Amino acid sequence: MTQRLYYENQYTKNFTATVVSCTEGKRGFEIILDKTAFFPEGGGQPGDTGFIGNSEVIDTVESGDDIIHICTKAVSGEVDCRLDFEKRFTNMQQHTGEHIFSGIIHSICGCDNVGFHMGEHSITVDFNCAVTQEQLDEAETLSNEAIYKNIPVEAVYPADDELCNYDYRSKKEIKGQVRLTRIEGVDLCACCGTHVAFTGEIGIIKVISMANYKSGVRITLQIGRKALADYREKNISVHEISALLKAKTEEITPAVERVLNQLQKSRYKYSLLKKEIFAVKANDTSGEKFIAFDDGGEAEDARIFSDMLAEKVGVAAVFSGNDENGYKYAITSRTTDVRNIGKELNAACSGRGGGKPDMVQGSVAAKREEIENFWNNINL
């Protein structure tokens, strides 16, 4: 049974221990020490990393009463151990922040945390009931108030016969000694994880988003250092957008709306102009078949232009796009069933698509020269 130093002091970064066993496993050398400050993966919190001697610890997991360190090299005897404490502290911030937020949601909405995931950039918490926007805002405000109050985070080990006196949150039935994590006035929850000693160490709890999930909601949170990194990144984005739009940071939303409006108007004018150009070009055409290339055009352009051309020629084909990205095509006729032409084109020019007897549409991954070769050799 490994002695768990992280329950005696969760801030232990360095310690000396004796190797009990070291065997080669699938992911590396599996090292068991007589005591450890490395927290094993559990309750949504990832396993700790760091070094045992000169052997890197890539993960820590629990196996019965033992804690197994997954390491890159074999070690033996007495060893100096060092945690990646920056990572651990960030995990403690996330984990304790989750307690606060879940405890407050529990008291506001009466629902339980039924899922918790600590991702690389943010955490998600799942609740088994609906949460309104007002309740979410209130929970965020109260969570941060709990941080400002710098409340102690305590571990409580009640005797079995006392346990019924505690009203605590628990994710599952627990065998043996129950360890409760108490944040006075905020949360009481059965938990085996590591936590900061005072809520002030968390810094901030920010709700990022909420989505319906199963019969309840999934809430994404930014907590502690990760929240600062997120704020920094978003602040850079806001300033970059503000500079691009030549608008004050607090006015970027209406500025983006203006740009999108202008873009929509320009697109409309452009489509009118293009139709005029197509009409002029179509006017000058005649013959049994006709092919046109609309450089940089869209699928819609191909359809409109080929339809105009079909008034003047037997079969009209328009290819919008370019050699690099391929072409969208439309083949139109008032007199000939063009579906076979479409099939032959797809076969010859790596294309896909289809349609009705008077028009087929699709795309080809071929160069202009190949398309022209195909067109020159088809028999109508």
Give the number of residues in contact with Zn ion, rule: CB under 5 A.
Answer: 3
Q: Is 190 in the site for Zn ion (CB under 5 A)?
A: no
Which is closer to Zn ion, CB of 193 or CB of 353? 193
Q: Does 40 bind Zn ion (CB under 5 A)?
A: no
Least spacing, CB of residue 46 vs Zn ion, in Å: 13
DSSP characters for 300-332?
Answer: HHHHHHHHHHTTTSSEEEEEEEETTTEEEEEEE
Window contacting Zn ion (CB under 5 A); options: 62-70, 146-154, 180-188, 287-295: 180-188
Most distant CA pair in the chain, distance? 97
Q: Which of 161, 171, 166 is nearest to 188 (CA)?
A: 166
- Told to check if 342 binds Zn ion by CB under 5 A, we report no
Nearest residue to Zn ion, using CB? 191
User: Is residue 46 a contact residue for Zn ion (CB under 5 A)?
Assistant: no
Least distance from Zn ion to the Cβ atom of residue 139, Å: 18
CB of 67 to Zn ion, least distance (A): 17
Q: Which listed range, 85-93, 186-194, 265-273, 299-307, lies at the site for Zn ion (CB under 5 A)?
A: 186-194
Q: Nearest approach, Cβ of 183 to Zn ion (angstroms)?
A: 10
Nearer to Zn ion, 171 or 368 (CB): 171
CA distance 4 to 10: 10
Task: Report which DSSP code applies to 46.
Answer: P
- Residue 22 CA: distances (Å) to CA of 25, 31, 41, 68: 9, 4, 19, 9
Decide: is 193 part of the binding site for Zn ion (CB under 5 A).
yes
Q: Which is nearer to Zn ion, 91 or 306 (CB)?
A: 91
Q: Is 191 in the site for Zn ion (CB under 5 A)?
A: yes
Q: Which residues contact 97 (CB under 8 A, 6 or more apart)?
A: 123, 143, 202, 205, 221, 223, 224
Region binding Zn ion by CB under 5 A among candidate stretches 144-152, 191-199, 205-213, 331-339: 191-199
Binding residues (CB under 5 A) for Zn ion: these are: 181, 191, 193
